[in-house]
Structure 1
Amino acid sequence: MNATVSAQPSATREERIGYLLVFLSALMWSLGGTIARFIAVEDSWAVVFWRSIWAAAFLIAFMAWRDGPRGTLKLFRDMGLPGFAVAVCFATASTCFVVALAYTKVANILLMQAGVPLLAALLSWLLFREKVSVATWAAIAGVIVGVAIMVSESLGGTVSPIGDGLALLIAFMFSVATVITRRFAQVRMTPATCLGTIFAAIFAASQATQFAVSPRDMGFLFAFGVINLGVGLAFFATGARLIPAAIAALLGTFEPILGPIWVWLVHGEVPSTRTLVGGIVVVVALFVHIGLELRRQSRPGRPGTTGIPSPT
């Protein structure tokens, strides 16, 4: 009994650290669109290449610092097929994010990504027949309605259907990665995402027309890869282990909420009316669903579990 009581303050401190780290990861990811708008490189594949290179370099350095060289190599060896699949999903999603920025507004991309936790629940039900509550189905319906409102502008030519299609693909790939991560909880996410950045860099290198960029652009590419992508992944992979999945998902929704705000404040890119309306529907559906999930997990005998939603 005494040991249990004495462990409670430590657990509380760990949870607070987890809250802070996951919120900081969402904050880092929300800066992606703002940083990208500063980059003058016309070739999107060159942007993908340098962003992925800087992110991979940071993640390798982070794991080497945290786990040591041998520990880092062991993490990569222990990933197996689940880690490889997550890496492929992440490489696809991170590449599509950069390319989509050339076709559609940041708000469209980020707000569509807000539905990742619910898409993951739907995929879990379809693939593994995991039970999905009525509240989750209602929230999924809300997300579908919200996304439909957002992409309806494509029919009138206001927004490129290519950009919206890539944004939907991003959300889908992140959802698949989340389902795999939950199904194979023993797989460490940091080396898998690091491998994903390496895959993205290799593919981008085969598509880019040139790699030379100005010192100014290289500075923003460094920030795009390290601060936005690498640091965000490191924060989340560390913090998500310390708090329930529902709370992590709730904190993760700060990314699609803050992202369009930064772009609006810094670059004056005002989201369209349909994007705002659809985004509000998506965010409300998420907050209601996660709030109900928090209540469910807080009941006696229904402890929360930890999980990792997808990053930008």
Structure 2
Amino acid sequence: MTNLSKERPKALLLLAGTATMWSLGGLLIKSVKASPLSIAGSRSAIAVVLLLLVLKKPKLTWSVAQIGAALAYAATSMLFVTATKTTTAANAVLLQFTAPIYVAIFSSWLLKEKTKLLDWITVFLVMGGMVLFFLDNLSTKSILGNGIAAASGVSFAFFIMFMRMQKDGSPLESVLLGNVFTAAIGLPFLAWSAPDASGWLYLVILGVVQLGIPYILFSRAIKHATALEAILIPVIEPLLNPVWVFLILGEAPGLLAIIGGFIVLSAITVRCVLAAMLSPAKEVST
């Protein structure tokens, strides 16, 4: 029995746990009464402490790829928190989940990877789904929130691509730096928008349970899971995220957003499954 098959059951549990903890983001962010940047900065500062305890001596190469991934991570974090505060949790997470589409568009330029017909078909379907998000519940605030969420998908795509460029690096170092950058930008906003006692409790949970621990578990699980498993199991996050918000806070996306989300999620999942099935087994680097 290979090491991969021995460790796979544990890896699958770690991936499922990771996605479930990530999915708490929408509920916890909406529960903190503070500005988006102060939430993002505080969450990242708490995550930095946890990551330093795990890494002990981070291997910082300061390469273009490592810095690029860190900056893209910081942008993604701040944009996602802002979008979650401005639009529905479902819209925020599903529009961020369009990242693989931007990877398909930009990878030929940044990674020298050829974009295939299947990628362009998926791009067309996802863009159609995104139109429905912007048609749903038309208002200045919702359009702004959806636009910010879509931007977080672009920055997350660059985070993925810069991570792929680090063939011999540790993904946690880039995540650590990204959280440091986010904390440096966001923490000063606490002077104008500080949370109350319950808000700080939610921020600790965000930093430790929703951000720090999941990335540690994901970095370990990815070494023993197949590409297909690593693609499919994290889909739990965009499915559960709006569920928690609806059950606890009663927020529900509109009908057009639900249809758009179904199109986006289905198109990307099918595309990833087909790509994984048609490609030789290899370690996932993201």
TM-score range, shorter chain: over 0.9
Please report how far the alpha carbon of residue 131 of structure 1 lies from its aligned counterpart in structure 2 after TM superposition. 2.1
CA displacement at 1:177 relative to structure 2: 1.1
Alignment of 1:1-312 (within 5 A): 7-8=1-2, 10-41=3-34, 43-64=35-56, 72-73=57-58, 75-76=59-60, 78-153=61-136, 156-157=138-139, 159-210=141-192, 212-297=194-279, 302-308=280-286
- How far the C-alpha of 1:209 sits from its partner, in A, is 3.0
Secondary structure of residue in 2 paired with 1:271: coil
The answer to whether the 8 Å contact 1:26/1:252 transfers is yes
For normalisation by structure 2, the TM-score amounts to 0.92
Give me the whole-angstrom Cα distance separating, in 2, the residues matched to 1:205 and 1:294: 40
Distance 2:100 2:94 in 1: 12
Which one is further off, 222-231 or 78-87?
78-87
Contact 1:79–1:192 (Cα < 8 Å) also in 2 = no
Summarize the Cα distance change of 1:151–1:185 in structure 2 as closer, same or farther, 3 Å threshold.
Answer: farther
Point out the structure with max Rg over C-alpha.
1
Deviation per residue, 1:199-256 (Å, 9 max, x gap): 1111113444346543222111100111111112111122122223343122222111
Residues 155-189 of structure 1: CA distance to partner in whole angstroms, max 9, x if unpaired? x3175222112111111111011111112222211
Preserved CA contact (<8 Å) 2:231 2:273: no
Alpha-carbon distance between aligned partners in 1 of 2:99 and 2:234, rounded to the nearest angstrom: 10
8 Å contact 2:227–2:276 — kept in the other structure? no
Distance in 1 between the 2:111 and 2:32 partners?
42
Contact 1:247 1:290 in 2 (8 A): no
For residues 126 and 115 of structure 1, the distance between their equivalents in structure 2, rounded to whole angstroms, comes to 18
Gaps of 5+ in 2: none
Partner SS, residue 160 of structure 1:
helix
1:127-147 Cα offsets, whole Å, 9 max, x none, are: 344123322222222111111
Once the 2 structures are TM-superposed, how far is the Cα of residue 55 of structure 1 from its aligned partner?
Answer: 1.0
* Sequence identity percentage: 25
Residue identity matched to 1:201: A
Q: Distance in 2 between matches of 1:143 and 1:304?
A: 26
2:73 maps to amino acid: F
Aligned length: 286
TM-score by length of 1: 0.85
What amino acid does structure 1 have at the position aligned with 2:208? V
Q: Distance in 1 between matches of 2:165 and 2:192?
A: 40
Q: How far does residue 279 in structure 1 lie from its aligned partner after superposition? A: 0.2
Q: What runs of 5+ residues in structure 1 fail to find an aligned partner?
A: 1-6, 65-71
Q: CA RMSD in A?
A: 1.9
